[in-house]
Amino acid sequence: MPPFDLPESDPFSPHNLPYGVFSAPGATDRTVGVRLGDHVLDAGAAALALGSPYASLLARPCLNPLLAAGRTTWSDVRRALTAWVTVPAHQSTVAEFLHPLSSVTLHLPFEVADYVDFYSSEHHARNVGRIFRPDAADSLTPNWKHLPIGYHGRSGTVVVSGTDVVRPSGQRKAPTDPAPVFGPSVRLDIEAEVGFVVGTPSPMGSPVALADFRDHVFGLCLLNDWSARDIQAWEYVPLGPFLGKSFATSVSAWVTPLDALEEARVAPPERTHELLPYLDDTGADAEPGGYDLRISVAVNGHVVSEPPFSSMYWTAAQQLAHLTVNGASLRTGDLYGSGTVSGPAERERGSLLELTWNGRDALELPDGKRTFLEDGDVVTLSAWAPGPDGVRVGLGEVAGRIVGQALG
């Protein structure tokens, strides 16, 4: 199939055009690519060949210059790219810069500045509360409905889809153990999330209002917040998760611009508590805030869950407003995760912790039972969003294989 003759049903049609960073076959240099069907357009080379003013943003080894260029430029570049792959006169010029996806190497698409992870699915938070505090009157902590709870993670261990994840070692201690023991995690889990990528920075002391979300956030990716539940359980009181999370966080190779997701915007769930003004998205003028993204979680190719992103209680706009309300600045490349996406149904849960109810109910996979992850397991998150005229906008996938520790 010639790259430009995509069927309307292709999730990487010209309605999508997500950005990534790749090396061409035999090359070591990295450059910005745009996905079209099962090809990658070398966007920098195309821009240079066409004499585009955006070559300085696209012929670069990471997305950060484009991210920093701001919302007007994001739209202009997207319009240009759309023309290059849809107008026959341009197609003939850029055709030579298309590479089969299977022939290229995909890299981490942007340099991560700060990484923050939220905890914004009510279904997830209630499941976790029921599992770990079964006797509590409320499965949510008192603050949960008043602010999107979040914390900082490790930017330096954010890796691109396809990177192996070495099973982490650490301390764990069951309540009945007399002292902690050390060894490879025996409760290694996933968290199916969506990551939001900040483009336009903001200065210290200047909170970003809800309405300014799309001026700052360029797009989104899929994110797997690998979690060692045994390490986390022993370490996290009182200052939160640390080594149970910091060994690896995987993101998809493609960043989908928010401009490709116009048709996927939806209202979030009804708010059950009055919100402080900086978080209040219930007004008639408020942006809908939510996104209808259909996520799929597969272990070794077998789908175990389909978490609906539209069920998230706190939106990405609220998360950004909260993150900055104390005056914290934003930098180009800041990444924040939605928190585990879990819907109301059992088959919509975004972690093995929930899917197996803390290991009580093993999942039946074609290759055997699973509570937590075993060495060699490959976890793949994929997703799509509704696009114009019933087409799908593909968000790609984030995959990773668990690797046992080398002996000695």
Annotated binding residues, written as ranges, equal 117, 119, 133, 191, 193, 225, 232, 236, 245, 249, 340
| CA dihedral angle for residue 128, residue 186, residue 369, residue 337, rounded to 10 degrees | 40
In angstroms, the CA 119 to CA 225 distance is 12
Q: Which residues are annotated as a binding site for substrate?
A: 119, 133, 232, 236, 340
Mark the segment that binds its own copies (CB under 8 A) among 23-31, 272-280, 304-312, 366-374: 272-280
Supply 135's token pair: 């006797």
Instruction: Give the footprint of its own copies on residues 193-232 (CB under 8 A).
Output: 204-205, 207, 228, 231
Supply 248's token pair: 């690896």
Q: Cα angle vertex 115, ends 113, 286, to 5°?
A: 105
Mark the segment that binds its own copies (CB under 8 A) among 189-197, 260-268, 275-283, 287-295: 275-283
Residue 131 touching its own copies (CB under 8 A)? no
Residue 358 touching its own copies (CB under 8 A)? no
The answer to whether 333 and 111 are in contact (CB under 8 A) is yes
- The strand pairing partners of 395, in sequence order, are none
Is residue 1 exposed (0-12), middle (13-18) or buried (19+ Cβ within 10 Å)? exposed
Closest distance between its own copies and the C-beta of residue 334, in Å? 7
* Cβ distance to its own copies smaller for residue 246 or 382: 246
Residue 78 touching its own copies (CB under 8 A)? no
Residue 238 touching its own copies (CB under 8 A)? yes
Is residue 335 exposed (0-12), middle (13-18) or buried (19+ Cβ within 10 Å)? buried
Closest distance between its own copies and the C-beta of residue 210, in Å? 14
Rg (CA), the chain: 21
Residue 82 touching its own copies (CB under 8 A)? no
Contacting its own copies (CB under 8 A), which of 84, 234, 254, 384?
234
Tell me the one-letter amino acid at 81: L
* Cβ distance to its own copies smaller for residue 146 or 369: 146
Beta strands in 353-391 (DSSP E): 363-365, 368-370, 378-386
Closest distance between its own copies and the C-beta of residue 159, in Å? 8
- 124 catalytic residue (yes or no): yes
* Cβ distance to its own copies smaller for residue 189 or 334: 334
**Annotated active-site residue in 124, 152, 216, 302:** 124
Closest distance between its own copies and the C-beta of residue 173, in Å? 8
Nearest Cα to 194, choosing from 124, 276, 140? 124
* Cβ distance to its own copies smaller for residue 61 or 263: 61
* Cβ distance to its own copies smaller for residue 229 or 392: 229
Residue 331 touching its own copies (CB under 8 A)? yes
Closest distance between its own copies and the C-beta of residue 354, in Å? 16
Residue 68 touching its own copies (CB under 8 A)? no
Q: Which residues contact 43 (CB under 8 A, 6 or more apart)?
A: 19, 31, 32, 33, 34, 58, 59, 81, 97
Residue 9 touching its own copies (CB under 8 A)? no
Residue with tokens 């029921």: 130
Nearest Cα to 125, choosing from 113, 133, 114? 133
* Cβ distance to its own copies smaller for residue 102 or 326: 326
In angstroms, the CA 266 to CA 405 distance is 43
* Cβ distance to its own copies smaller for residue 91 or 155: 155
Cα dihedral sign, 61-64-65-69: positive
136-175 footprint of its own copies as x/- string (CB under 8 A): -----xxx--xx-xxxxxxxxx-x------x-xxxx-x--
333-352 footprint of its own copies as x/- string (CB under 8 A): -x------------------
Task: Name the H helices within 244-390.
Answer: 316-324, 352-355
The answer to whether 42 and 61 are in contact (CB under 8 A) is no
Contacting its own copies (CB under 8 A), which of 182, 272, 389, 390?
182
Task: Name the H helices within 294-396.
Answer: 316-324, 352-355
Residue 248 touching its own copies (CB under 8 A)? yes
Give the total of residues touching its own copies (CB under 8 A).
62
Q: Which residues bind its own copies (CB under 8 A)?
A: 113-114, 116, 119, 141-143, 146-147, 149-157, 159, 166, 168-171, 173, 179-180, 182, 204-205, 207, 228, 231, 234-244, 246-248, 274, 276-278, 322-323, 325-331, 334, 405
Give the residue numbers annotated as catalytic, written as ranges.
124
